[in-house]
Chain A
Amino acid sequence: MQTEVAGMVERFKAEAGKAGALVYETSSAEDACNYILRLARERDVKSAVKSKSKLADEIKLRKHLESRGIDVKETDLREWMAQLVGRKPAERITMAQLGKLMSKATGEKLDSEPRALLNAASRAIRQYCIDADMGISEADLAIAETGTLVIAGNEGVTRLVAVLPRIHITLVNYRNVVELLEDVYVRLKSPKRDGSVKLVPGYVTYITGRNTTADIPGAVLARAQGPSEEHIVLVRRTSRRNVA
């Protein structure tokens, strides 16, 4: 079993690499954070946007980057609200309080009406993605067969984080590596606790390697319309104690 997983992970790395992604593998939380920080500094990254990521939480990535001068914006709505509030979970906060926080963050005058708040939040988050130098995602799954990252979400912003900034980093938990393209749906449609099958996530994006174009005559050029670099940080196991 163990060797089977290892084989799959190796295949994923090889295929992703062949498709143009840069794969870094580590088993230390600190190392993962430092690698990303180093990358950000080398590429002159001032601001980053981040999708929801359990793994990033585990290795405390946002704090690591923020405390070293890189602005990191959460883009998942719940995560963003929690970032505004400064604690998790953000649900216990009242709509009125949220309205105030959001007004401050967006510079718009907002009341507590959910629709208006959502519109303002969408505009703000969208703008973060447009302005950011770096996007940080976590792959829900990684497909060994093709070296493909699978990034899911209902809000659609996960795709903006993955495509708009000039550098994209995807964290991959080695436990989420699957063998085949067919395995994706089996894992995505897992039944709810009440027995009903939950809806498939609204936006499921597959990314395989780095985007290129041959449409400008004369050359095959990297970075068509997406990021110029696709980085994958594959994390084997993490231990909280490692993080400074």
Chain B
Amino acid sequence: MSRVMAKRVHKALADDNLQTALTRLFGLIKFVRQITFANLDFDALSQEIRRIKENSIANLPQLVEQFKSQAAKAGAVVYEAEDAEAACEYILKLAQEHQVKHIVKSKSMLGEEIELREHLESAGIGVTETDIGEWIVQLARERPAHLVGPAVHKTMEQVAELVSKATGQELGTEPQALLDATRRVLRRAYIEAEMGISGANIAIAETGTLTIVTNEGNGCMATTLPPIHVAVVGYEKIVPGWKDAAAIFRLLSRCTAGMKMPVYVSHITGPSRTDALSGKVLYGAGGPAEVHIVFVDNGRWQMRETEEFREALYCIKCGACLNVCPVFASVAGQTYGYIYHGGVGAILTAFLHDVDEAEEVASLCLGCMACKAACPARIDIPRMITRLRASLAEEKGLPWLNKMAYRGILKYPDRMRKLIKVGTYLQRPFVDKDLMIRRLPVPLNSLTKAISLPALASEPLLEKLTNFQLPVPSDKPRVALYAGCVASYLYPEVGEHVMKITDECGAKPYYPEGQACCGAPAYFAGDVETALGLAKTNIVALEVKKPDYIITVCPGCAAMLKKEYLNLTVAEPRWNQRARVLAERIRDFSQLVLELTPSTREKPLRNHKVTYHDPCHLKRGIGVVNEPRELLKREGFELVEMAEADACCGFGGHVVLSYPELSKSILNRKLDSIEATGVEMVVTNCLPCVLQLRGGFDKRRSHIKVMHSAELLADTFMMGR
């Protein structure tokens, strides 16, 4: 986190116009997404795109050759540019040779990346952006705020002023009038331009074809009306054939704007040609006489060589990840600083622009994994973010505070316990009667800005569980509790409830001593070494008495134990094998209770409505969605679903510490959708989520109760059985 980024975040959150516009845009996006994704086999379609992109990138050198020879056959000129400068220079020279004074340009992320417009303008050539949003942004001398709506951050009044100035007319704020005026200006630009510049969404090797997608129709005009067409294309856009392009169309616009198909798709194979006049092929028959295709490397080939980040090249720039990103919905694009936004943006920024800026972008990530679930190319964005942080930590070292926290405290459970003991004394002046901390002094005051915090428990879980510490041999399934830090030190009562309920389920619960922090905080901050150490500590601790199951109350820990330990130990086969055994034993609380007591019984009628919040790491981390709901219903609760039950609560990553204001904005959306259900209680299966939601409702002075499933069921479980 840096001050600059914190400032940008603050600015975006304080901008009422932006917030209103974003609320409207995301409402619309979510609405249309629901319609277009209904009855769609997203898994099958995205697997197909994944397969196509994997193949294409693997065979890229051959595909480039094939594309070049086919495009040449069709009369196009192909130029390969190593970097931004080479690409810009080639195009500038071409423009100067043809005495080009005006250029029309359709939207291209690569164009933004290589700063093509700026390059041409500084040489005295007029460039008009033709996507309406992009044109507005150009008039305002800004960079696009959003992939789909580049000018989403502008109000009607601002747009009216910009368009009035550009057209020399006094235009009011009537949208239709603004659009008509804009269309007239752009029409003139297409007709007058001597060159049209586009990107390409896809490049098809088998025929040397460029594929350009637009909804407004500007792509068709910018590439047909001017006598020269130049396309800037990233190598990663190449696919083998037309059928591959078809597979991409199926998801591209759905992901971008909730449309089944883009309104216009232009396939361009060579310049305009005819043999009508002399029997010989002549170019320039109503369309451009020259088509130039500029392939740009600018870091892409290096990315391809870097196994860990290669899959970022599978990105089809649809924006699906941004449309579901809670951070993006709060701050939009310009906050990110560079043109590539969101999670995948961090990786692209690192390779195609600047590593330090990439670190800033990555610092905004909640780790909620919504992007991964929405990606039509199934790119594991969260994993790459973790890798990026790890390689940055390796290169530059961790900040001293983090290093001390991870390597000096987290790593040693005893030290941590002692320190927290000290904390329980230090916190006393700030703890209210109901054991909440509502205000902390400087420099910790930012922590209690967004939420009220729970006090550290006077007795940690370990001290409370003396009864359960000795497992006795019996036929009952042995269940080890992995508590994690939040249950151990903040909510030990939840650990107790879990033990009691597991016992009532007919199992033998116990609490293996020697368990430590799961290592997630260190791991996701890039400290692989500490995380690996903690993984080994926990693997050893959780092998004691060979449990049949390991029950967890925090899905963050569960996902760490179940999935990341396998990744961490991959270089050490023996540890890896032990991690595998551990992984198979991991169960979420609700999952295990259902597994142990599968028989349903008559519902005790409670006449009590609750809503359920899906923790990110439970749903998208380890795939548990239905069990918590089923258990609630079985135990007689009436479930009222909230809108976007699986949206992050804002606690994820280090966002809650680094950007509390941002965390609060995300939390507020969650609290709003809980309140909108009208129920008095929200249940979830994650203690950090409980902390966040409870703290948030406390700040709102709301009466809505927040409960972990284990807490809710503690008193009533087995009643009436």
B186 within 8 A of A: yes
Give every chain B residue within 8 A of A220 (Cβ-Cβ): 28
Binds B, one of A2-10, A24-32, A150-158, A236-244: A150-158
B73 within 8 A of A: yes
Chain A 193-244 interface residues, beta-carbon cutoff 8 Å to B: 199-221, 223-226
Q: Flag if B182 contacts A216 (CB, 8 Å).
A: yes
Give the complex CA separation of A143 and B58 in angstroms: 31
Binds B, one of A38-46, A55-63, A122-130: A122-130
Q: Flag if A185 contacts B271 (CB, 8 Å).
A: no
B273 within 8 A of A: yes
Give the complex CA separation of A196 and B277 in angstroms: 24
Distance of A58 from chain B, by nearest CB (Å): 22
Q: Given A182-B243, A205-B220, A206-B261, check contact A211 B285 (CB 8 Å).
A: no
Contact with A along B268-281 (1 / 0, CB 8 A): 11111110111010
A70 within 8 A of B: no
Give the complex CA separation of A219 and B174 in angstroms: 10
Distance of A202 from chain B, by nearest CB (Å): 5
Q: Flag if B155 contacts A215 (CB, 8 Å).
A: no
Chain B 239-266 interface residues, beta-carbon cutoff 8 Å to A: 241-243, 246, 249-250, 259-266
Give every chain A residue within 8 A of B191 (Cβ-Cβ): 130
Q: Flag if A122 contacts B285 (CB, 8 Å).
A: yes
Give the complex CA separation of A147 and B152 in angstroms: 29
Give the complex CA separation of A224 and B276 in angstroms: 34
Binds A, one of B131-139, B435-443, B544-552: B131-139
Give every chain B residue within 8 A of A217 (Cβ-Cβ): 21, 151-152, 154-156, 159, 175
Q: Flag if A211 contacts B264 (CB, 8 Å).
A: yes
Give the complex CA separation of A163 and B148 in angstroms: 21
Give the complex CA separation of A149 and B216 in angstroms: 16
Contact with A along B125-156 (1 / 0, CB 8 A): 00000111100100000000000111110111
What residue in chain A is nearest B209 (Cβ atoms)?
A200
What residue in chain B is nearest A227 (Cβ atoms)?
B217
A33 within 8 A of B: no
Distance of A221 from chain B, by nearest CB (Å): 5
A22 within 8 A of B: no
Give every chain A residue within 8 A of B250 (Cβ-Cβ): 181
Q: Given A180-B246, A208-B260, A215-B133, check contact A154 B285 (CB 8 Å).
A: yes
Distance of A103 from chain B, by nearest CB (Å): 15
Give every chain A residue within 8 A of B266 (Cβ-Cβ): 159, 203-205
Q: Given A203-B272, A216-B179, A225-B221, check contact A209 B263 (CB 8 Å).
A: yes
Most chain A beta-carbon neighbours within 10 Å: one of B28, B225, B263, B282: B263
Interface size counted on chain A using CB atoms at 8 A: 64
Contact with B along A92-124 (1 / 0, CB 8 A): 000100100000000000000011011101100
Q: Given A122-B284, A207-B264, check contact A215 B132 (CB 8 Å).
A: yes
Distance of B267 from chain A, by nearest CB (Å): 4
Give every chain A residue within 8 A of B287 (Cβ-Cβ): 155-157, 159, 202-203
B286 within 8 A of A: yes
Q: Flag if B216 contacts A157 (CB, 8 Å).
A: no
A170 within 8 A of B: no
Chain B 189-239 interface residues, beta-carbon cutoff 8 Å to A: 191, 207, 209, 215-218, 220-221, 224-225
B7 within 8 A of A: no
Give every chain A residue within 8 A of B178 (Cβ-Cβ): 216
Q: Flag if A19 contacts B277 (CB, 8 Å).
A: no
Give every chain B residue within 8 A of A213 (Cβ-Cβ): 132-133, 179, 215-216
What residue in chain A is nearest B257 (Cβ atoms)?
A214
Most chain B beta-carbon neighbours within 10 Å: one of A95, A117, A118: A118
B183 within 8 A of A: yes
Most chain A beta-carbon neighbours within 10 Å: one of B151, B175, B288: B175
Distance of B53 from chain A, by nearest CB (Å): 17
Give every chain A residue within 8 A of B268 (Cβ-Cβ): 202-203
B607 within 8 A of A: no
Q: Flag if A125 contacts B21 (CB, 8 Å).
A: no
What residue in chain A is nearest B176 (Cβ atoms)?
A221
Give every chain A residue within 8 A of B186 (Cβ-Cβ): 225
A175 within 8 A of B: no
Q: Flag if B179 contacts A221 (CB, 8 Å).
A: yes
Q: Which of A78, A118, A156, A209 contacts B282 (CB 8 A)?
A: A118
Q: Which of B176, B261, B265, B273 contacts A202 (CB 8 A)?
A: B273
Give every chain A residue within 8 A of B182 (Cβ-Cβ): 216
Contact with B along A145-177 (1 / 0, CB 8 A): 011100000111101101110000000000000
A15 within 8 A of B: yes
Q: Flag if B175 contacts A221 (CB, 8 Å).
A: yes
Give the complex CA separation of A19 and B286 in angstroms: 29
Give the complex CA separation of A18 and B288 in angstroms: 34
Give every chain A residue within 8 A of B241 (Cβ-Cβ): 185
A23 within 8 A of B: no
Distance of A192 from chain B, by nearest CB (Å): 14
Q: Flag if A156 contacts B159 (CB, 8 Å).
A: no
B645 within 8 A of A: no
What residue in chain A is nearest B283 (Cβ atoms)?
A118
Give the complex CA separation of A199 and B250 in angstroms: 25
Give the complex CA separation of A19 and B253 in angstroms: 13
What residue in chain B is nearest A224 (Cβ atoms)?
B216
Distance of A104 from chain B, by nearest CB (Å): 17
Give every chain A residue within 8 A of B420 (Cβ-Cβ): none
Q: Flag if B260 contacts A203 (CB, 8 Å).
A: no
What residue in chain B is nearest A204 (Cβ atoms)?
B267
Q: Flag if A160 contacts B224 (CB, 8 Å).
A: yes
Give the complex CA separation of A89 and B403 in angstroms: 82
A75 within 8 A of B: yes
Q: Which of A157, A160, A201, A212 contacts B215 (CB 8 A)?
A: A212
Give the complex CA separation of A95 and B217 in angstroms: 36
Give the complex CA separation of A126 and B280 in angstroms: 22
Q: Flag if A77 contacts B274 (CB, 8 Å).
A: yes
6 A–B contacts, CB within 8 A, in A order: A75-B286, A154-B273, A181-B249, A212-B215, A214-B28, A215-B151
**Known contacts A154-B274, A156-B287, A215-B151; 9 further A-B pairs (Cβ under 8 A):** A78-B276, A98-B277, A125-B286, A155-B285, A160-B225, A202-B287, A211-B263, A212-B215, A224-B218
Closest 9 CB pairs of A and B: A156-B287, A226-B217, A224-B216, A185-B242, A215-B133, A181-B246, A206-B265, A157-B286, A156-B272
